[in-house]
Structure 1
Amino acid sequence: MSQSPTKGKAHMVCHNCKIEAKKSGKDRKGNQRFRCAQCRKTFQELQEKPLDNMRIPMEKAEMCLQLLLEGMSIRSIQRITGLHQKTILDLMVLAGDRCRQLMKDRIKGIAVKDVEADEIWGFVGMKKMTRLYKQIDNPMVGDAYTFVGIERNTKLILAWHLGDRDTPNTEAFTEKLNHATSGRFQLTTDGLATYPDAISYSLGTRVDYAQLIKVYAHGDREGEQKYSPPEVVETVSKPIIGNPDPRRICTSIIERSNLSMRTSIRRLTRLTNAFSKKWENLHAMLSLYFCWYNFCRIHSSIRCTPAMESGLTGHVWTLRELLAA
């Protein structure tokens, strides 16, 4: 147990009366207590709570988060660390909330040149067809697509959004992309029909936009949701807005990023029972992953973190720094 910061202090200022208080014994954990001579209340010095009201050691919290980011399931982490699964989930949600705010505060107005965007499929509770079969009217259950925008050169995740592949969610994603970027840039997406109008509305005045449309052997993109997606027989480049450079119409970087997501996030691994049971938990894990990817993970192609390559920071962050930021 680390030494209390109050040890060695003979006097403290009362939180209520703002006058000097004297030592008055210790609590059962050895922390020094003080008593105010005026109001007669006892208290101890306020201590920092890096994990709010969670009382697990910071080292174990970092270990849990690292294991989550290495593709381990909740119950696997429970067996390794000895922490209860609810404690692990609470820690994940806490870290996710802080990472979401950090991304919102730090990733804004970034000067970019070449952006790729795509969606990666997952589900919460059950797949869409099962939900329809059971006639469950709950938008937080079923297919869940993660929209992701990445800068092709710096590998920085600029924006992401969790939702269905429909117009409102596409517009929400493009608005986040607009908030995260500045200046004119080239943007490439897949052939999702809701992209052109949403991008025209949110980014139309400052993008050269093109779609890279995949033609599948069976003519059905829904096969991508299966374990073995259908064969891609052709790709068609389709300029939509401005004057996109044909040589830079590409989605290879974002598709490789999708593979890293499925590898690092157990909830997105196919053919397992590790899928998310709650929408909030999936959202929290995605928040944690994208923030960790930007600030903590060294990318092999640029030999530093995407945040360093973008000039947002000068060093590789630790998970403890993410939680404290």
Structure 2
Amino acid sequence: MKTLTELHCPECQSLKNDPFKKYNTVHNGERILLKCDECDNVFSETAGTPMQDIKSPISKVASVLKIRSEGMGLRATGRVLGMHKNTVSTWERLFGDQKETLMLYSFCHEFVSLVFEGDELYTVVGRRTDAHASEGWTAVIMERSSRFIVDQRCGAKDAALFESVMSTVCEYISQTGDLSFFSDGERRYGNTLFAFCAEALRNGKPGRPPKTLPKGLKLRVKNKGDQKHKRGPKRKKYQAPLREHPETDQELDESNIHANHVEANNAAMRRRNSAFRRRTNTYAKTVLGLQRTLDVYWVIHNFVRKHWTTGEVPAVAMGVLSAPLGLEDILMMQK
């Protein structure tokens, strides 16, 4: 498997390349040209990386990303550093595009057991509207023990939003022997997951075989809200809302059915992501701009910054990496 730091040829994707010559840049010192052994293509070590065609020092780009990841607004960052806000947003977009590469790298690993939590948080996009009509809803999926954010997507609170995040969960199901998913009251996580990966269970009985979740996959919902004044049968406080495979281990402590860790992350995101701050009338201008900040947050949270509770970078705690990455490492990483 290709490592994250290996360089490949942009033309033929070959990993067989050797140093060809060195050249000096105005702001970034000495750079290396590489020559591909397969197609004789000569390319720079920045080819295919976020730093391609960027003349600013890599240390400045990393500083901008670090400042933004600590909660400073887009325009405020530009004013402090004497830059145009469009330059800052462009660097963020290039850095956030590394999410796809890092996510695919995470899918390549095998896991014995994973516990996912799902929750949502909300901000304003464009003009103020009712909460149910806003496009600022963000669905977040987190792995409990490592605090690794599996995925986070923003948009209107509809089926498309839940399908986008649960499709990522499905990628981990085939790589994990035992996977549990917990949600605080929102049943669309489970419904979407069931629609994606339910399998027919042939038990030899007449009739259509019932559909169940795959073996080893557990889904639990903590019912929230006041049930005292509602008519009809009362829901259990903790329940499996969908049919599970009969061979799946059902031993699960009810005290573990919660989404407290991802809720704590939502509070941290309101401090570190300026689009979720409550200091302005309009938090995010567009959905694409909000998703750009979420992608940057995803990369830095999972692969760069140590979590204050575990004391480890989430990707290292989860077993995806053996050592954390720096901002400069990700900026020089090919897509």
Normalising by structure 2, we get a TM-score of 0.71
Q: Which is further off, 237-246 or 284-293? A: 237-246
Match of 1:248 in 2: 256
Residue of structure 2 equivalent to 1:48 = 46
How do 1:96-175 residues align onto structure 2 when only pairs under 5 Å count? Answer: 96-107=96-107, 111=111, 112-129=113-130, 142-175=134-167
Q: Which has the higher contact order (CA 8 A, sep 6+)?
A: 2
Q: Shift of the alpha carbon at 1:91?
A: 0.7
Query: Does the 8 Å CA contact 2:170/2:193 hold for their aligned counterparts?
Result: no
- Whether 1:209 and 2:207 are equivalent positions in the alignment is no
Tell me, in whole angstroms, the C-alpha distance in 2 between the residues paired with 1:274 and 1:105: 36
Is 1:76 the counterpart of 2:76? The answer is: yes
SS state of the match for residue 97, structure 2?
Answer: helix
Q: Is the 8 A contact 2:220 2:238 kept in 1?
A: yes
Q: How far does residue 55 in structure 1 lie from its aligned partner after superposition? A: 2.1
CA contact (8 A) 1:123 1:143 kept: yes
- Rounded to whole Å, the distance in 1 between the matches of 2:164 and 2:70 is 29
Among 260, 264, 268, the alignment partner of 1:260 is: 268
Percent of aligned pairs with the same residue?
21
> Bigger radius of gyration, 1 or 2?
1
Q: Matched residue of 1:52: which SS?
A: coil
CA–CA distance in structure 2, aligned partners of residues 258 and 59 of structure 1: 29
Match of 1:194 among 164, 175, 188: 188
Amino acid at match of 1:247: S
Aligned to 1:286: 294
Q: Which runs of 5+ in 2 are unaligned?
A: 1-25, 198-212, 230-235, 245-249
Structure 1 residues 186 and 298: CA distance shift in structure 2, 3 A? same
> How far does residue 177 in structure 1 lie from its aligned partner after superposition?
0.9
- What is the identity, as a one-letter code, of the residue corresponding to 1:62? A
Amino acid aligned to 1:90: T
Greater per-residue helix proportion: 1
Q: For residue 307 of structure 1, what is the amino acid of its counterpart? A: A
**How far apart in 2 are the matches of 1:75 and 1:150?**
30
1:257 to 1:108, Cα distance in 2 relative to 1, 3 A: farther
Cα distance change on mapping 1:273 and 1:165 into 2, 3 Å:
same
- The 3-state SS of whatever aligns with 1:183 is strand
Deviations 1:113-150 (CA, angstroms, capped at 9, x unpaired): 32111111123212333997xxxxxxxxx422221111
Give yes or no for contact 1:73–1:266 (8 Å, CA) kept in 2: yes
How far is the alpha carbon of 1:198 from its aligned partner? 1.0
User: How far off its partner does 1:199 sit?
Assistant: 2.2
Contact 2:153 2:294 in 1 (8 A): no
> Which of 293, 317, 321 is equivalent to 2:325?
317
Q: By how many angstroms is 1:108 displaced?
A: 5.2
Letter of the 1:239 counterpart: A
Aligned to 1:32: none
Q: Deviations over 1:133-182 (max 9, x none)?
A: xxxxxxxxx42222111111111112222222222321222111111342
CA distance in 1, matches of 2:110, 2:171: 9
TM-score (norm 1): 0.73
1:307 pairs with 2:299: no
For structure 1, list consecutive stretches of 5 or more residues without a partner in the other structure: 7-12, 19-43, 133-141, 220-234
Distance, in Å, in 2 between the alignment partners of 1:237 and 1:214 is 9
SS of the residue corresponding to residue 46 of structure 2 reads: coil
Q: Which amino acid is 1:126 matched to?
A: R
Question: Cα 1:143–1:239, aligned 2, differ >3 Å: closer, same or farther?
Answer: same
CA RMSD of aligned residues (A): 3.1
- Residue pair 2:78, 2:88 contacting (<8 A) in 1 also: yes
